[in-house]
Structure 1
Amino acid sequence: MDVETDAVAADRAVKERHRRMWALGDYPTVAEEVIPRLGAVLVGAVGAGPGDRVLDVAAGSGNAAVAAASAGAQVVASDLTPELLTAGRAVAARRGVDLEWEQADAEALPYRDGEFDVVMSCVGVMFAPRHRVAADELLRVCRPGGRIGLLNWTPEGFLGQLLATMGPYAPAPPPGAQPPPLWGSEAHVRELLGDRVTDVVARREAVLVDRFDSAEAFRDYFKARYGPTIAVYRMIAGDPERVAALDRDLAQLARRHLHADGMRWEYLLLTARRRG
């Protein structure tokens, strides 16, 4: 087997692990119960609406894609995990909106150059391991003058800290992978997009999560429903001491962020226009 074939096989294995991870638990319920408003925030910021052909990259169950279709846009929701697309179709049917659902890798999008007026991602593309490759694809399929919209968890915010807390318990990332919360750093995203975009607007905001009345309630909810958390617990299932330690670490993290009115999960909202 030559070097190129080895690299292709390794990449295929990484993507298969990602597919299986996001199919664990019940991410569609997490999106619907915990962060239901985030998709509409992104759609409003990027201005997707009638007359726009929109691509939602790493769309999951369609938090942003369904919101864009509801706003009158022609939407394609793409994701690596077919189970999430199936859930998204059901969400769209319940809400009476039509859009396309297609399995696709954010690092190798199966679309023509400049095919979309709007290319967006809501806490999705951040989990593609090779940030530069994914950013290049976002820009490639966006037409000159089209809009890019990205909403991603910050490294310093709750979800960024959650991923960092789980890191020591998880297997080593594949070669070339970068931490997902870097997509929540304005400097990092600006560097990825470079001079290929203009009119960059970036701001940090937070979503209020009032779903959990205790730190343990958050931990147990994510242990049961959030794919990355489930995957980490499965990795250490044979070591009761490590399981107990992760239980403590997640509860302590949640306790630090839990206030009387809930938790505030910080994200970076960035919009730009592809240079013509």
Structure 2
Amino acid sequence: MTTQNSATEADRALKAKHRAMWAQGDYPSLAAEVIPSLGAVLVEACGVRSGQRVLDVGAGSGNAAIPAALAGADVVASDLTPELFEAGRRVAGQQGVELSWQEADAEALPFGDAEFDTVLSCVGVMFAPHHQQAAGELVRVCRPGGTIGLLNWTPQGFIGRMFATMKPYAPPPPPGAQPPPLWGDEDHVRALLGDRVTDVRAERRTVRVDRFETPEAFRDYFKDRYGPTITVYKNIAGDPERTAALDRDLADLARDGDLSTGGGGTVLEWEYLLCTARRAG
């Protein structure tokens, strides 16, 4: 009993850290300004339509939930960090749609079995630390024959390389936690979902990001707005040399990935895995 209670306390502490990480900075503005199209891509791939009940897991400020609501679905946007909901409610109101917003842990969703026609996540569930638990919940709350749709950054793509770049400067991960970009590996996702799903379709695509004038502008934008990057910088805040090294490494990452031909700012292509499946049964 003591061991179980200790594990529960450790998990609560871990989730509290995750919530705090995403509450800092300004992820809603980053999602709206840098990757505004991705949610709609996932909604279209899932075939969301009027009359369906849809759950967005790790919804943030509604990058996918709002397009699903615009398609006429009855949508629940769930996230561990409810601080992100205010921006989402504002955007939903501006676009004239209503949806529900509910605080929820992706590894222990507060919904009934087979409650939703479509369960989706756009660069959200990938940040749950225990991948198998989260995958099990995605399947559990989806009705038999319903759709599970995922859009996640790949390990070899730009954001996957960004996490690899930050790793030497980050605090060590807690025991059992898995790297987020693994959700962008098709074999990993297939193994997580297993024989509980059928008709798996996976495709690697890219999104073009051309809003940063320089590699340094990309770095500074993420230092200011992106929770994981902010957390890594906080971890080394007392070490000016390591901070300067991370500054260089992140700018070099963008410089190496720059596809511009000169004079037009920094142009990046960020790779993601788009995956859809049907719940078996």
1:274 aligns with 2:268: no
* Structure 2 partner of 1:60: 60
**Share of identical aligned residues, percent?**
70
**SS, match of residue 212 in structure 2:** coil
Between the aligned partners of 2:81 and 2:171, the Cα distance in structure 1 is 21
1:161-180 equivalent positions in 2, closer than 5 A: 161-180=161-180
- 8 Å Cα contact 1:214-1:258 kept in structure 2: no
CA distance in 2, matches of 1:209, 1:71: 25
**Take 2:19 and 2:91, find their aligned partners in 1: how far apart are those partners?**
20
Task: Quote the RMSD (CA, aligned, Å).
Answer: 0.8
| Equivalent residue, structure 2, for 1:129 | 129
- Rounded Cα–Cα distance in structure 1 between residues aligned with 2:203 and 2:38: 14
Distance 1:185 1:174 in 2: 22
Q: Tell me the distance in 1 between the aligned counterparts of 2:3 and 2:91.
A: 43
Shift of 1:96: 1.1
2:48 aligns with 48
> Residues of 2 paired with 1:87 and 1:2: CA distance?
41
**How many Å apart are 1:259 and its aligned residue?**
1.6
Q: Distance in 2 between matches of 1:85 and 1:139?
A: 24
Determine the C-alpha separation between the residues in 1 that align with 2:33 and 2:105.
Answer: 26
Shift of 1:93: 1.1
Corresponding position of 2:270: 265
Matches within 5 A, 1:189-268: 189-260=189-260, 262-268=267-273
Runs of 4+ in 1 over 2 A off after TM superposition: none
After TM superposition, give the deviation of residue 49 of structure 1 in Å.
1.2
Contact 1:21/1:228 (8 A) holds in 2 = yes
- Please report how far the alpha carbon of residue 134 of structure 1 lies from its aligned counterpart in structure 2 after TM superposition: 0.1
Task: Tell me which residue corresponds to 2:150.
Answer: 150
**One-letter amino acid of the counterpart of residue 9, structure 1:** E
* Number of aligned residue pairs: 276
AA aligned opposite 1:40? A
Aligned counterpart, 1:29: 29
Structure 1 contact 43–64 (Cα < 8 Å) conserved: yes
Q: Distance in 2 between matches of 1:43 and 1:17?
A: 29
Please, what TM-score do these two structures have when normalized by structure 1?
Answer: 0.99
State how far apart, in whole Å, the 2-side matches of 1:71 and 1:128 are. 27
1:115-141 Cα offsets, whole Å, 9 max, x none, are 000000000000000000000000000
Distance in 1, Cα, partners of 2:254 & 2:220: 11
Shift of 1:214: 1.0
TM-score, L = length of structure 2:
0.97
Secondary structure at 1:76 match in 2: strand
The superposition leaves residues 169-201 of structure 1 with CA deviations (integer Å, 9 ceiling, x where unpaired) of 111111111100000000000000011111111
